[in-house]
């Protein structure tokens, strides 16, 4: 497969953009290759600058659940653009999308729109601190909540890939306020809560972890967090930037029946345009400026184009049978890949929740960051490159989630499983 033009573009980009990319994991560093520059996409296919076509399981890292260039989303954004891209004044679309989010997500009674997931989690934490009058926060090792200072402590995603649990530039005084527990270990949470009684503002968690690969919550974990938070007056924040409208229309909280106090969203609710949101109980949200004193603002917040793309996307997701059909496709993909590995005698640990899936390159089970980090990342890199060569575009890191979209058809899924069979044999 020819990557000449992508490589040329990458060389040029490196001269003017740090590392040649605007977000680290795009650089393919952990798989030892140059990134592909993408020219266009449609449905579940993306095409690079050398005109190679791939079946896409990255989906812009989650947002593209209805596939690329869905005609409804294009029509909505085009018609909005023709009436103005941004006004810095309220528009009706913001209330429409807010109400769609409130109707969908059990914990959300009021919601504030922002422009990225990072902004959503950062602002949710400020609000939790303002509401409780406490300074400390508790997160989990391997969970990624965007790149705000207080959250870049033992984070997953790009930070896990690059082994930068504490980034230079994050003041020690800030990191000190972030406590880190092990995912799926209520024991580790109870210990930290006991040691820091009455000083923890919030527990923030990916209720299905997707940034250390895909790690589902074990039975009782989310229920246990809910109980601890209620007892201790701690705000429970579900970071559903990835899982919201992904594992179910109402996110993990609908699927598992556990309701947090606050929820952060992003990715899907922007339909591919820059968006984030955070919401929760009315009593908490009304402490937010200008209703209350906790400050938060944004020039492009609730941007008309993003709101239109989000509304159009959610309208597609609301159609009867959408998640059922996506579940069936995703099961076929994940089980097909797991079987291909077994048939090749290659050990992987396969996980999936809805259309989020992962093949961990390890003999053991994966429940948290210590077990995820046991994976053979060199073997993963070989598999990734072999799959790419077969026309399958996976996330370029072991510690990421694969995403199936509604646009993935039978033919593409068959092609994916056949490619996996070939590639596992190749590396076995």
User: Would you count residue 155 as binding ligand PLP (CB under 6 A)?
Assistant: no
| Residue with Cβ nearer ligand PLP (155 or 341) | 155
392: helix, coil or strand? strand
User: Would you count residue 117 as binding ligand PLP (CB under 6 A)?
Assistant: yes
What is the C-alpha to C-alpha distance for residues 389 and 371, in angstroms, rounded to an integer? 29
Q: CB of 361: closest distance to ligand PLP in angstroms? A: 21
Tell me if 116 sits within 8 A of 146, measured CB to CB.
Answer: yes
Q: CB of 120: closest distance to ligand PLP in angstroms? A: 7
Of 244, 246, 133, 138, whose CA–CA distance to 186 is shortest? 138
**Could you confirm whether 78 is annotated as catalytic?**
no
Residue of 180, 211, 214, 416 interacting with ligand PLP (CB under 6 A): 211
Instruction: Give me the 238-277 binding string for ligand PLP, x by CB under 6 A, dash otherwise.
Output: -x-xx-----------------------x---------x-
**Could you confirm whether 267 is annotated as catalytic?**
yes
**Given the residues 57, 131, 144, 349, the one annotated as active site:** 144
The DSSP line for 119-186 is HHHHHHHHHHHHHHT--EEEEETT----S-GGG-BS--HHHHHTT-SB-TTS-HHHHTTEEEE-TT-H
The DSSP line for 104-124 is H-TT-SEEEEESSHHHHHHHH
Instruction: Give me the 213-242 binding string for ligand PLP, x by CB under 6 A, dash otherwise.
Output: --------------------------x-xx
**Could you confirm whether 144 is annotated as catalytic?**
yes
CA angle 102, 104, 109 (to 5 degrees): 25
What is the C-alpha to C-alpha distance for residues 357 and 80, in angstroms, rounded to an integer? 34
Please report which helix (H) or strand (E) contains residue 40, including its range.
strand 38-42
Closest residue to bound ligand PLP by CB: 117
- Residue 36 DSSP one-character state: P
Q: CB of 121: closest distance to ligand PLP in angstroms? A: 6
**Given the residues 48, 56, 239, 368, the one annotated as active site:** 239
Q: CB of 181: closest distance to ligand PLP in angstroms? A: 16
**Given the residues 48, 267, 349, 368, the one annotated as active site:** 267
| Residue with Cβ nearer ligand PLP (266 or 279) | 266
What is the C-alpha to C-alpha distance for residues 424 and 421, in angstroms, rounded to an integer? 6
**Residue 349 forms beta bridges with which residues?**
360
Size of the site for ligand PLP (CB under 6 A): 15
| Residue with Cβ nearer ligand PLP (356 or 420) | 356
Q: CB of 288: closest distance to ligand PLP in angstroms? A: 19
Which range touches ligand PLP (CB under 6 A), out of 81-89, 117-125, 354-362, 415-423? Answer: 117-125
Residue of 116, 188, 259, 313 interacting with ligand PLP (CB under 6 A): 116
Instruction: Give me the 61-100 binding string for ligand PLP, x by CB under 6 A, dash otherwise.
Output: ----------------------------------------
Q: CB of 117: closest distance to ligand PLP in angstroms? A: 2
Q: Give the phi and the psi of residue 364 in degrees, each rounded to 5.
A: -85, 180
What is the C-alpha to C-alpha distance for residues 46 and 55, in angstroms, rounded to an integer? 7
Q: Which residues are within 8 A (CB) of 83 and not within 5 positions of it... i.e. 6 or more apart?
A: 304
* CA distances for 305 relative to 81, 92, 100, 117, 276, angstroms: 7, 12, 16, 17, 13
Instruction: Give me the 171-210 binding string for ligand PLP, x by CB under 6 A, dash otherwise.
Output: -----------------------------------x---x
| Residue with Cβ nearer ligand PLP (146 or 354) | 146
Of 220, 193, 217, 191, whose CA–CA distance to 205 is shortest? 217
User: Would you count residue 356 as binding ligand PLP (CB under 6 A)?
Assistant: no
Of 105, 90, 404, 134, whose CA–CA distance to 251 is shortest? 105
Tell me if 401 sits within 8 A of 57, measured CB to CB.
Answer: no
Of 140, 85, 72, whose CA–CA distance to 314 is shortest? 72
The DSSP line for 199-267 is -EEEEEE-SSB-SSS-BPPPTTHHHHHHHHHHHHTPEEEEE-TTTBTTTBTTHHHHHH----SEEEEEG
Q: CB of 69: closest distance to ligand PLP in angstroms? A: 21
| Residue with Cβ nearer ligand PLP (394 or 420) | 394
Instruction: Give me the 121-150 binding string for ligand PLP, x by CB under 6 A, dash otherwise.
Output: x----------------------xxx----
Catalytically active residues are: 144, 239, 267
Residues near ligand PLP, by CB under 6 A: 116-118, 121, 144-146, 206, 210-211, 239, 241-242, 266, 276
């Amino acid at each position: 497969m020819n990557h000449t033009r992508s490589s040329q573009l990458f060389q040029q980009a490196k001269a003017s953009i740090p590392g040649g990319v605007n977000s680290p994991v795009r650089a393919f560093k952990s798989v030892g290759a140059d990134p592909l520059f993408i020219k266009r996409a449609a449905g579940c296919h993306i095409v690079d600058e050398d005109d190679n076509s791939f079946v896409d399981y990255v989906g812009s890292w989650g947002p593209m659940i209805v596939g690329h260039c869905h005609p409804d989303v294009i029509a909505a954004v085009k018609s909005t653009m023709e009436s103005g891209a941004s006004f810095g004044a309220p528009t009706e679309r913001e209330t429409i999308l807010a109400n769609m989010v409130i109707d969908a997500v059990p914990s959300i009674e009021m919601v504030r729109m922002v422009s990225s997931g990072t902004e959503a989690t950062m602002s949710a934490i400020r609000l939790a601190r303002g509401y409780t009058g406490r300074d400390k926060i508790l997160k989990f090792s391997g969970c990624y909540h965007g790149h705000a200072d207080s959250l870049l402590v033992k984070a997953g995603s790009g930070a896990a890939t690059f082994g930068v649990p504490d980034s230079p530039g994050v003041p020690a005084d800030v990191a000190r306020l972030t406590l880190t527990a092990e995912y799926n270990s209520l024991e580790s949470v109870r210990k930290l809560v006991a040691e820091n009684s009455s000083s923890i503002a919030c527990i923030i968690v990916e209720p299905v972890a997707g940034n250390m690969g895909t790690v589902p919550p074990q039975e009782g974990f989310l229920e246990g967090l809910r109980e601890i938070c209620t007892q201790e007056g701690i705000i429970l924040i579900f970071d559903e930037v990835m899982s919201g409208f992904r594992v179910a229309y109402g996110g993990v909280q609908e699927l598992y029946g556990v309701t947090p106090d606050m929820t952060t969203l992003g990715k899907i609710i922007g339909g591919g345009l820059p968006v984030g949101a955070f919401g929760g109980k009315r009593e908490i949200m009304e402490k937010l400026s200008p209703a209350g004193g906790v400050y938060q603002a944004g020039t492009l917040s609730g941007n008309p184009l993003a709101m239109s793309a989000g509304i159009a996307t959610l309208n597609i997701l609301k159609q009867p049978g959408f998640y059922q059909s996506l579940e069936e496709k995703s099961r076929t993909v994940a089980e097909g890949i797991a079987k291909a590995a077994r048939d090749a005698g290659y050990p992987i640990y396969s996980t999936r929740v809805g259309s989020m899936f992962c093949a961990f390159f390890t003999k053991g089970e994966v429940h948290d960051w210590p077990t995820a980090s046991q994976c053979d990342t060199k073997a993963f890199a070989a598999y990734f490159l072999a799959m790419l060569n077969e026309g399958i575009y996976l996330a370029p890191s072991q510690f990421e989630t694969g995403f199936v979209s509604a646009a993935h058809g039978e033919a593409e899924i068959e092609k994916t499983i056949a490619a996996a069979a070939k590639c596992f044999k190749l590396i076995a």
